[in-house]
């Protein structure tokens, strides 16, 4: 049995998995209510909230799995990237638990965790595949030839896709986090009535850029206000969302072709987006590429993906040590 702990941002999460990666129990405690009134995650508050909830979340995960701490054979904890004050809480907790139980502790890269979500849920898939991780902090494309050795093909040069959704929602007065509310409103709107240019669409280059579309939205709202015209929020949400979704889909499929693989994995919080999911499936079918999108609870931050990544390290005979510090900027794949 392996315990996975995730505290890199604003979710306090823990899960118990078997050494073969099967998830037995999972608990995710969101901090959205704490941060919503500030319009974004406040790092200091995130750290404090993790301290208040981590023990409860871990105990609940063990209870749901029907085991006691002494039945654990390893602990896996997110070691980065993320907010340093938030990471420190999970890492300190994980170290203390592993030391007390005299079991190994594995630091897991948060992005490696998101990649491991590909192996969870009904449509589980194994490498080789191309993976898009689109979250609030990252928009990365990887070629995963074997587990544990992803090769970075492209990444955002400025804002992450989730960050673009969050900033757009803020401009439209829709609150935080922006992704889910834009997703919901876009379903009631017509993207053709508020078209936005697709940001950095060239598939020659697999990097992304989402800061321009944020400025395009700012000008759209400002110009309309100056002309005394109003706007239909669902149409604007739909147009904005479609521009981002199109670029994520087309670049990911182009990457799969370039790497000559037939499978694409899409994960990270933005993979919860309903239009992104639908569009990926439809375009994948057109191109003869199978698109795997884990269940929503494994796309957003969770402990199961960390436990699954830890189980893989355990099976791989990785030697663990208590002697590591969290790294806010821990990159993988170059």
Q: Do 121 and 298 form a contact (C-beta atoms < 8 A)? A: yes
Give the residue from 270, 133, 159, 254 showing the smallest Cα distance to 213. Answer: 159
Indicate the residue among 169 and 306 with the shorter CB distance to Zn ion: 306
Residue 85 is a binding residue for ligand KG4 (CB under 6 A): no
Question: 6 touches which of ligand KG4, Zn ion, none (CB within 5 to 8 A by kind)?
Answer: none
Does 166 interact with ligand KG4 (rule: CB under 6 A)? yes
26 binds, among ligand KG4, Zn ion, none (CB under 5 to 8 A by kind): none
Cα separation, 329 vs 51, in Å, equals 22
DSSP states of 74-115 as a string?
EEEEEEESS-HHHHHHHHHHHHHHHHHHT--EEEEEHHHHHH
Binding mask 46-85 for Zn ion (x = CB under 5 A): ----------------------------------------
Give yes or no for residue 178 binding ligand KG4 (CB under 6 A). Answer: yes
Q: Is residue 246 involved in binding ligand KG4 (CB under 6 A)?
A: no
Task: Answer yes or no whether residue 135 interacts with Zn ion by CB under 5 A.
Answer: yes
The CA distance from 51 to 48, in Å, is 5
- Residues of this chain, 125-154, that bind ligand KG4 according to CB under 6 A: 135-137
List strand residue ranges (DSSP E) for the chain, in order.
Answer: 2-6, 11-17, 23-30, 74-80, 105-109, 129-134, 139-144, 150-155, 263-267, 290-292
Between 104 and 268, name the residue whose CB sits nearer to ligand KG4: 268
- Give yes or no for residue 113 binding ligand KG4 (CB under 6 A): no
**Residue 165's binding partner, choosing from Zn ion, ligand KG4, none, with beta-carbon cut-off 5 to 8 A by kind?**
ligand KG4
Considering only the stretches 32-40, 162-170, 199-207, 310-318, report the one whose residues sit in contact with ligand KG4 under the rule CB under 6 A: 162-170
In whole angstroms, the minimum distance from the beta carbon of 93 to Zn ion comes to: 19
The 3-state DSSP composition of the chain as helix, strand, coil percent (nearest 5) reads 50, 20, 35
**Contacting positions for Zn ion (CB under 5 A):** 135, 301
């Amino acid at each position: 049995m392996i315990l996975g702990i995730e505290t890199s941002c604003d979710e306090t999460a823990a899960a118990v998995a078997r050494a073969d990666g099967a998830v037995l129990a999972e608990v995710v405690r969101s901090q959205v209510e704490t941060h919503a009134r500030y319009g974004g995650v406040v790092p200091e508050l995130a750290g404090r909230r993790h301290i208040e909830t981590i023990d409860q979340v871990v105990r609940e995960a063990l209870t749901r799995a029907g085991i006691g701490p002494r039945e654990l054979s390893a602990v896996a904890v997110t070691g980065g990237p993320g907010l340093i004050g938030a990471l420190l809480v999970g890492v300190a907790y994980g170290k203390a638990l592993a030391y007390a139980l005299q079991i190994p502790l594995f630091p897991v890269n948060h992005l490696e965790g998101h990649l491991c979500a590909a192996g969870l849920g009904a449509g589980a898939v194994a490498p080789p595949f191309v993976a898009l991780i689109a979250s609030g902090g990252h928009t990365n494309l990887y070629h995963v030839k074997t587990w544990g050795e992803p090769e970075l093909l492209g990444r955002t040069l400025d804002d992450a896709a989730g960050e673009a959704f969050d900033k757009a929602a803020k401009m439209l007065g829709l609150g935080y986090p922006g992704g889910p509310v834009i997703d919901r409103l876009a379903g009631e709107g017509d993207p053709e009535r508020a078209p936005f240019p697709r940001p950095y669409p060239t598939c020659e280059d697999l990097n992304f850029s989402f800061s321009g579309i944020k400025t395009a939205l700012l000008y759209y709202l400002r110009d309309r206000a100056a002309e005394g015209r109003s706007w239909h929020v669902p149409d604007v949400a739909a147009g904005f969302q479609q521009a981002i979704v199109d670029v994520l889909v087309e670049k990911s499929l182009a990457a799969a072709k370039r790497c000559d693989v037939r499978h694409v994995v899409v994960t990270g919080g933005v993979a919860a987006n309903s239009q992104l999911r639908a569009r990926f499936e439809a375009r994948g079918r057109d191109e003869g590429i199978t698109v795997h999108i884990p269940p929503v609870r494994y796309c957003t931050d969770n402990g199961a993906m960390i436990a699954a990544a830890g189980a893989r390290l355990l099976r791989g005979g990785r030697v663990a040590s208590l002697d590591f510090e969290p790294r806010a900027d821990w990159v993988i794949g170059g």
